Amino acid sequence: MAKTYSKQTVAVQGGVLRSQFGETSEAIFLTQGFVYDSAEQAEARFSQAQPNEFTYSRYGNPTTRMLENRMAQIEGTEDGFATASGMAAVNGSLCAILKAGDHVVASRVLFGSCLYILENILPKFGIQVDFVDGTDNQQWAHKVKPNTRAVFFESLANPTLELVDVEFVSKLAQKNNAITIADNALATPLFLPAHELGINVVVYSTTKHTDGQGRAIGGIVLGTKDFIRGPLESYMKHSGGAPSPFNSWIMLKSLDTLNLRVNYQADTAMHVATNLEKSTKIRKVIYPHLKSHPQYTLAKKQMKKGGTVFAIEVEGGKEGAFRFMNNLKIFRVTNNFGDAKSLVTHPATTTHQRLTQAQRNSFGIHDGLVRVSVGLEDRDDILEDLDTAIQAI
Ligand SMILES: *Cc1c(COP(=O)(O)O)cnc(C)c1O
């Protein structure tokens, strides 16, 4: 399908590979491998497999290939490689690019496991990593140097909802011949067109909005054909991060409704965040498209909507946060986001527990901070549930 179709259309129709039966819905090719007409064909397949020819499902699979094609079309990249988890995608993209002696610059507020790879794993292999305040363009400009090989950040940071000026950082990296990798999971491809804004390699945890219904873990790396079918595929297929074809199928079917789901969730999130700002028991509501967000202008410029997640800081620190969470009826206490079910997370004691108190405070992950992921329930019910729990603080 040509790239001129809208994201909504390619999310439904893009990348379909139909078998000889002409099935309507995408088929699940739940097979570890493939058979050949002859020994010669097997030899040829192994030496020069064409994009839609397969040998082994750790290398590639028709269901997974449909997902890769579809996600690449939504993002507008040439190609993609689906992985078993978001972390396999983050790790794979970094390992495919970096070698000993390389320098990386990353934003400091990151999903816990991303931070672990950059802080603990990469340095073991002789890679030097510098962290910056991702919101501060001057710090990026100061740290990105001619020997910088890669730049890594979350376009919208979890859970503080800070933004990185994507165009600024990608231009800066390009000037220094560094490759930009953006984890765009929280922002979604529909609200923040990371590749259009100049990012070379875009990474998603498809566990989040892509599945969006809490069933499967998955990830994807998107980029140029040369990168994806070159170093990235080599790293992934030999290190074994392939997804189950069944999980790829779940993700594919979920993409049919991605646009409807995340737009509805984002509209509800905007409505609810706006209303909660009036509450006196809340210190602040953090949401990119609220005027009170410190990067509101940038958020309006680079994000079509504010996303499906906001954060609130309640009075009373951890105790206040727990009382609030325990009084919710619709919202479930968990650590996912982007789900059909409305969810709340207390980052300081769960996803970001590993950090020191000082680190958390400097990142803005205070004890009273609660991350709120808005689901597909009725927006009046959602607001009432939050309001009632806030009264209990
Ligand atoms: C969840 C998440 C990941 C990791 O994804 P998994 O699918 O859990 O491996 C990476 N980055 C961000 C921003 C995430 O939210």
In this structure, which long-range contacts are made by residues 209-212, counting pairs with CB atoms below 8 Å and at least 24 apart in sequence? 209/185, 209/258, 209/261, 209/262, 209/308, 209/338, 210/71, 210/251, 210/254, 210/255, 210/258, 211/250, 211/251, 211/254, 212/254, 212/257, 212/258, 212/261, 212/262, 212/338, 212/339, 212/340
Q: For ligand 1, is residue 102 a contact (CB within 6 Å)?
A: no
User: What does the pLDDT look like over 173-182, one tens digit per residue?
Assistant: 999 999 999 9
DSSP 232: I
User: Do 83 and 220 contact (CB within 8 A), yes or no?
Assistant: yes
Q: For ligand 1, is residue 205 a contact (CB within 6 Å)?
A: yes
Residue ranges for the chain with pLDDT beneath 50: 1-2
Q: For ligand 1, is residue 348 a contact (CB within 6 Å)?
A: no
pLDDT of residue 52: 86
Q: Which two tokens stand for residue 50?
A: 């064409």
The angle that helices 379-391 and 317-326 make with each other, rounded to 10 degrees, is 130
Q: For ligand 1, is residue 152 a contact (CB within 6 Å)?
A: no
SS3 letters across 111-162: CHHHHHHHHHHHHHHCCEEEEECCCCHHHHHHHCCCCEEEEEEECECCCCCC
Q: Which atom of ligand 1 is nearest to the CA of 217?
A: 7
Alpha-carbon distance of 382 to 393, in angstroms, equals 17
Q: Which two tokens stand for residue 182?
A: 């953006």
Q: How far is the CA of 187 from the centre of ligand 1 (A)?
A: 12
113 residue type, one letter: S
Q: Which two tokens stand for residue 159?
A: 């859970």
User: Do 140 and 132 contact (CB within 8 A), yes or no?
Assistant: yes
Q: Whose CA is nearest to atom 6 of ligand 1?
A: 86
Q: How far is the CA of 86 from the centre of ligand 1 (A)?
A: 5
pLDDT of residue 355: 87
Q: For ligand 1, is residue 186 a contact (CB within 6 Å)?
A: yes
Of 113, 206, 211, 254, best ligand 1 pocket probe by most atoms within 8 Å of the beta carbon: 113
